[in-house]
Structure 1
Amino acid sequence: MSPLLERHGIKALDRLLPALALGASLVLPAALHAQEAPHHGGKVTINIHADAPNFDPLASTEFAVHSRLGLALSRLIEWSTGPEVGYGEFIPKPGLAKSWEISPDGLTYTFHLRDDAVWQDVVPVSGRRFVAADVVATYEAIREGGVQRGLLSAVDRIAAPDDHTVVITLKRPNVVLLQNLAHQNMWILPQETFNGGYDRNTTVIGTGPFVLESDEPGVATRYVRNPAYYGRSAAGEQLPYLDEVEILPLKDLNARIMAFRAGQIDIWFGPLNLTQMEGIKQAVPDLQDIQTIAGNQTELYLNPSFEPFADIRVRQAINLAIDRLALGEVVRGGGAIGAPVGPALTTQTLPEKERIALYGTPDHEKAKRLLAEAGYADGLSFEFTVLNYGEEFVREAEWIQQDLAEIGVTAQIRLVDTASGQALASEGNFQALFLIMSPFAEADEYFTTHYLPGGNRNYTKVDDPKLTAMIEAQQAAVDPAERVAQIHEIQRYIAANVANPLPVWAAVLLHPAHARVKGWHPMMTQGFPSLPEVSVTD
């Protein structure tokens, strides 16, 4: 039993939800309403607890940007959604590509594009047809400088032999290319934005289900139905069903809860703990109560440019100081312990016993010995930059601060807003940094973003040739079982030889929605992919 759990009077981890890590959603009985045939019309309101600083999908990975873009933009490959699809389960379905073929050697992907997709009627694109040149322009811009460029690192050439065909040739086989093209940041844009036709920071033009009508920071982002959207339901009905969607940027948690209880928010998005959920259920007894293990996890980055953190013994000592199981129970009320690949990816993450052995077994005496061996027997002090994602996240940081104090390490918390924190991370301008990682749906994305040179989340500049070779080898592993074995071995190597960033915790994620909302299925990707098939009963 963890001493910190005993300190808080907790006898067992009976509120941890390991079954949810399977990737499926747990829908509690209150959510099991009679199915009604969807119909067109109506409006839903969603809360996203931050404004979008801009609308350029190549410049930022922020959830506040991409969650909004997903209503108006499309990808070449999309995520399947529905009650039969697990929260973290990626099943590719046609998006702007209606079909594709892969050559026997795995190096050439040929995509056949839809001929019924048109750009939204916004100047200067003005409703023209979507063509292959749009795909090529978008992907080449990403390769040149987009934050998503790591997803296309295996690509050698991109060509458009005609208006309805795109051919991607790889340098080496990459079994996750389709998933990379369906990534939450891989929106396709019109070629005009790359030759000065319009400013994508402020203007959104897509082929998606909704048209961005207005964005007022601090007030609302408003969308209207795209009448030219190509999407159809399984029954052949024109999508989307909704006429309007409104996103409210309510930053205060209590204000969000009050708005949801009052019916001013239909679909909840963002932090919410189980205690708060119980209070909402008392006020809204017929709500849809959907729970999953979060696709993201909290992570602690230790910058090796700060001398103590250049020594892996110091990083290992900090890892051993943190009582994650107690943190998860007391602060989060449930969830799963983190790993180099997050626990929502149950096949690819390390088995739970191994995750607990590596990250959930604090040993303060060993931590002190490692510090002494590294020359810090009297402890050390550092600035602990914490992104302000909300009350519970800050409490996680404070818990870590307390744990570190017990091994003689002083972490001086510096709380910053998320946009400033992301900038500090990208610049490497921090000593230690605590954040919530974006949800990833594939182990390869954890690896390429965190551990390859140039990766857009490689904030600590990891450059380990052996690790790079291991990552590239799993990309080419065709046999699924062999690839999973390689993915597990990579995580063991990271724990033993890199220890940066340190994974902490994946919380229980709650996705409540009011009973009037039908067809809502949250997925572990940004952009609300099930929203085109959502309808309302009034």
Structure 2
Amino acid sequence: MSKYWSQWHRSQLTRRRFLAAAGTAGAGAAALSLVGCGGDDDGKDDSGGSSGGSTDVPTKLEDLKKLSLEEMRTKFSGSRFKNLDGYKKGPEPGGTLRYWFVSLPDWDPTGANGGLMASYMFAHNQLIQIKVNDSLKNPNFMEFEPGLAKAMPEQPDNLTYIFKLNEGVKFQDVAPVNGREMTAEDIVYCSEAYRKSPAQGPTYEQVDKIQAIDKYTVKFTTTRPAAYFISSLATPFHWIFSKEQKESSDGLAKKPIGTGAFMLDSVQDNGGYKVKKNPSYFRKDPVTGKQLPYLDGIETTYITDPAQTLAAYRSKQFDHYYPDSKEKWLQVMETDPDSVTQVTTPPPSFQPYIAMHLTNDPLKDVRVRQALSLMIDRDSIIKNLHQGMAGYGYGQDWTFFDREWPWESNELGKYNKFDPKEAKTLLDAAGVKDLNLDFFMQAFAGANFEVWSAAAGMMNAQGVKTNIDAPQDVATQVSTFYGGKFKHLAGTGLLGPGMDPDTFSYHALHSKSVKNYYFVNDPKIDDLAVKQRETFDTKDRQGIVKQLMDYDLDQVTRLWLVTPYKINVRRPNFYNLIDTEAAWNPLGWGSLGVDLAYRRTT
């Protein structure tokens, strides 16, 4: 057990003691233990800058330990990065960015793993994209910008989207495409392929026609109003690839070849990868006007031991690191106090929650689901597992409602609280006794596993027996949940992928949606889910989504837990490695922004 945790939380439960108290210490106890510290190199980088991008943040460890959630998210907000001295001085070309990440066994965005591609967008571009750079006014809100398009689309009516393309954009000079120009025909070809693809298909489900009007103009026509279309199209797995590569003998799987800033140089099986600068890249920095990319290359290393990953950052082998807890962040700041820290609002599309198979007894009965929700003490999970660095969970994007931070408990209905007495009353009314539930988990260790295990322990404490199955085989984890093979409960973490309210409304809940993994079948939900996706007026759509949200919470279609805040650290001489709400850079959807990343040496 880490000395920092025991010193800091002397009066509180440790993770292991908390989980033991919840009745789950026997389930994966080795996985629940905290890792120790890595190396202790405390050398400094040259460019200077304090841990929050401003001089008014504390740097002493004892002061950092005392910071509340509100202080953390204010003092370490990414909106402060534009005030860093190195950012004001501007970019320097050259250098290599190094961080932890694993390569893909398959690079085909149209295949079964297409959803994973959003975290590897170094070699491709798409029509429009998420804006990711240090100059953002507030990175906790998503902004979009043109990519291969010159501007955001013209919309003469609610069924038509016209994109004008940048001219002279070239594919990378790699066989079989060999550096030829990208045109509107490539957009049409890729979009037609994505219509039939599992990850991207939902974006195009209401698209009727995709036409190349001329060499640099593409027109999309929908059959019905699709308020979700633009934000869904910005999700970074709508890569533009070439017909030549897709129809070649190797196809798209072996190597990513696009119009992007970096070209794949080498890759290790079940390991990291290296990329090098694309000399014919078309984009220029919108702030400085300089040619991109700035970096010469990127090197990733895959390390399975979290302690070694932390040690690699502390020994200067990595330039970027994601601590998965406040405790690990404190370990970093003890030896590397000049690290630049960012605290980001949690992404609604990735949070630990519990799915339920609603067609199976006893979960058909809403009273049973409501009772289970009332058995979970979310405040204890936030305090003891996340050291206060988490909010209350629910699967809808709060930023759509013009708010920066996650939902408050009093906004999540009357069953998203801890009330074991009312839980017993509901079970008695349902005539349910000696409840025995199978609980499948999509992970066997890590932060999400700990949250699910705590929730299971809380149910056990109220007399509900949970039979935990947490397989280590990834194929089993995926097929059991997404194939609907779990019997009662399933601990999972992904909602989407996507960032439009439609992701969390229609796709998650409509009875005919292929992403309704919970078997929800409710006419009222279906009606509201369709209505919101066809409503363009933002305020009207907000009202419909909120109505759906309130009804869904009352029906308890899923057991919501907590949504952890995101912490990242980087070397003080690296810039434009900012996280936004749904796009983390470089290890996530924000990878599309690595063309803007740079390192300063002075």
**TM-score with structure 2 setting the length:** 0.80
Contact kept? 2:392, 2:562, Cα under 8 Å: yes
In the alignment, which residue of structure 2 is the partner of 1:3?
Answer: none
In the alignment, which residue of structure 2 is the partner of 1:72?
Answer: 123
1:59 alignment partner, SS class: coil
Aligned-residue offset at 1:8: 4.4
Aligned-residue offset at 1:137: 2.0
In the alignment, which residue of structure 2 is the partner of 1:475?
Answer: 533
**CA 330–172 in structure 1, closer or farther in 2 if over 3 Å, else same:** same
Give every structure 1 segment of 4 or more consecutive aligned residues whose post-TM-superposition deviation is greater than 6 Å.
28-32
CA–CA distance in 1 between the matches of 2:145 and 2:535? 23
CA–CA distance in 1 between the matches of 2:298 and 2:117? 16
Aligned-residue offset at 1:188: 2.1
In the alignment, which residue of structure 1 is the partner of 2:596?
Answer: 533
In the alignment, which residue of structure 1 is the partner of 2:568?
Answer: 511
Written as runs of structure 1 = structure 2, the 5 A alignment for 1:124-523 is 124-196=176-248, 198-233=250-285, 234-269=287-322, 272-295=324-347, 296-333=350-387, 334-343=389-398, 347=402, 352-358=408-414, 360-388=416-444, 390-417=445-472, 418-431=474-487, 432-437=489-494, 440-453=498-511, 455=513, 457-497=515-555, 499-523=556-580
CA–CA distance in 2 between the matches of 1:177 and 1:188? 17
CA deviation vs aligned residue, 1:489-534 (integer Å, no higher than 9, x gap): 111121123x233332111111100112122222222142331111
Contact kept? 1:132, 1:164, Cα under 8 Å: yes
**CA 420–139 in structure 1, closer or farther in 2 if over 3 Å, else same:** farther
Contact kept? 1:302, 1:309, Cα under 8 Å: yes
Out of 124, 132, 135, the position equivalent to 1:81 is 132
**CA 118–503 in structure 1, closer or farther in 2 if over 3 Å, else same:** farther
Give the total of aligned pairs.
Answer: 526
Contact kept? 1:323, 1:360, Cα under 8 Å: no
Contact kept? 1:301, 1:460, Cα under 8 Å: yes
Contact kept? 1:25, 1:87, Cα under 8 Å: yes
**CA 30–378 in structure 1, closer or farther in 2 if over 3 Å, else same:** farther
Structure 2, unaligned runs of 5 or more: 1-10, 19-65, 584-588
Aligned-residue offset at 1:229: 1.1
Contact kept? 2:117, 2:236, Cα under 8 Å: no
**CA 200–286 in structure 1, closer or farther in 2 if over 3 Å, else same:** same
* AA aligned opposite 1:410: K
2:89 alignment partner, SS class: coil
CA–CA distance in 1 between the matches of 2:209 and 2:72? 42
CA–CA distance in 1 between the matches of 2:245 and 2:82? 47
Aligned-residue offset at 1:323: 1.2
Aligned-residue offset at 1:293: 2.0
Contact kept? 1:150, 1:455, Cα under 8 Å: no
2:189 alignment partner, SS class: helix
CA–CA distance in 2 between the matches of 1:354 and 1:62? 37
Contact kept? 1:292, 1:509, Cα under 8 Å: yes
CA–CA distance in 2 between the matches of 1:338 and 1:394? 15
CA–CA distance in 1 between the matches of 2:239 and 2:13? 46
1:38 alignment partner, SS class: coil
Aligned-residue offset at 1:114: 1.5
2:545 alignment partner, SS class: helix
CA–CA distance in 2 between the matches of 1:61 and 1:453? 24
* AA aligned opposite 2:419: D
* AA aligned opposite 2:575: K
CA–CA distance in 2 between the matches of 1:470 and 1:169? 24
Greater mean deviation of Cα atoms: 292-301 or 472-481 = 472-481
* AA aligned opposite 1:290: Q
